[in-house]
Amino acid sequence: MAINIGPTLKRRREWARLTQQELIDHTRMERSASYISALETGKSSPTLVELEQLARYFRVGVIELLQEAMDESARRGASVDTADAPATDDRLARVYAALDEEDQELALEMLQLLARRRRRS
């Protein structure tokens, strides 16, 4: 399930009265302001490191930021696009195996969050 963090990021950035460039500067991301625009419009997705930088700046946890984005998507009635998904189901195992131990822990936390959300629905 893809989580579009864009609307949440834009809302938080605008609430903080920051330009896209100021957000780049404050988070010390080595990106351009147009990258924030791409995140906000859903044309790009942040890396785990960038998610951590954004969450840290807004003083929330990564999981909380993702939960907020999922809640916003649910309120907007967003649907999950599975047209681009490969036919095989080994994707999760391959991606998980490519992560280092710290990122594997974070990935497990995110999956547990998604499973709890699914059980509540």
pLDDT for res 1: 56
CA–CA gap between residue 102 and residue 112 (Å, rounded): 16
Q: Does 51 share its domain with 106?
A: no
Residue 114 in this model has a pLDDT that exceeds 90? no
Instruction: Considering only residues 121 and 40, tell me which one the structure prediction assigns the higher pLDDT.
Output: 40
How many structural domains are present in the chain?
2
- Regarding whether 36 and 56 lie in a shared domain, the answer is yes
So what's the pLDDT on residue 85?
43
* Environment class of 95 (CB within 10 Å of its CB; exposed 0-12, middle 13-18, buried 19+): exposed
pLDDT at position 80, please? Answer: 47
Residues 113, 67: one domain?
no
Q: What domain range is 3 assigned to?
A: 1-81
CATH of the domain at 53: 1.10.260.40
Query: Residue 89: its pLDDT value, please?
Result: 59
| Residues near 54 by beta carbon (within 8 Å), at least 6 away in sequence | 5, 9, 23, 27, 46, 65
Query: For the segment 5-20, what is each residue's pLDDT rounded down to a tens digit?
Result: 999 999 999 999 999 9
| 81 pLDDT higher than 70 | no
pLDDT band at residue 121 using 50, 70 and 90 as cut-offs = low
Same domain, 75 and 99: no
Global pTM value: 0.61
Q: How do residues 41-70 score in pLDDT, each as one tens digit?
A: 989 999 999 999 999 999 998 999 998 888
What HEC string does the chain produce? Answer: CCCCCHHHHHHHHHHCCCCHHHHHHHHCCCCCHHHHHHHHCCCCCCCHHHHHHHHHHCCCCHHHHHHHHHHHHHHHCCCCCCCCCCCCCCHHHHHHHHCCHHHHHHHHHHHHHHHHHHHHC
Task: Specify whether 92 is located in the same domain as 72.
Answer: no
Same domain assignment for residues 22 and 49:
yes
Same domain, 54 and 16: yes
